[in-house]
Structure 1
Amino acid sequence: MPERTCPACQADDTEAVESVDRADLIRSYRQKGIDVSTYLPNSSLTLCRCKHCELGFFAPVCAGDGPFYEQLQTQEWYYQDDKPEYAHAAKLVREDCSLLEVGCGKGAFRAWLPESVRYTGLEFNDEAVQKARAAGLDVSKQPVEDHVAEDRRYDVVCSFQVLEHVEHPKQFFHACVEALKPGGTLMMVVPAQDSFLAIAPNSPLNMPPHHVTRWTDRALTNLAHSEGLRKADIWHEPVADFHKEWHATTLAYHALARFGVYRPRLIDNSTHYRLLGRIVRIPALREYLRRAALKMSPGLEVGHTVMLIAS
Structure 2
Amino acid sequence: MILLGYRDHNVHELVCHEIAERAGYYDRLGIEVEAVPGPDHPEAALSAGLGGSLVEALRGQRRWKVALVHTLHPLFWIWTRKEGTGSTGPTVLAGYPEGSIVGAFTQKVLNDHWSAEEAPAVLRFPAGSTGDRLRVEALTSGVADAAVLGSAFAPSALSRLGLTDSLFFGVALKFPTAGVAVDVARTSVDHPSVRKVVAAQTAAIAKVRSRDPVALDAVASLLHDSSRADAQRLLADYLSPQYGPDPRDVHAAGADALDWLAGALHTSGHTAAEFYEAVR
Measured against the shorter chain, the TM-score band is 0.3 to 0.5
| Higher RCO, 1 vs 2 (CA within 8 Å, ≥6 residues apart) | 2
TM-score (ref. length: structure 2): 0.34
TM-score (ref. length: structure 1): 0.32
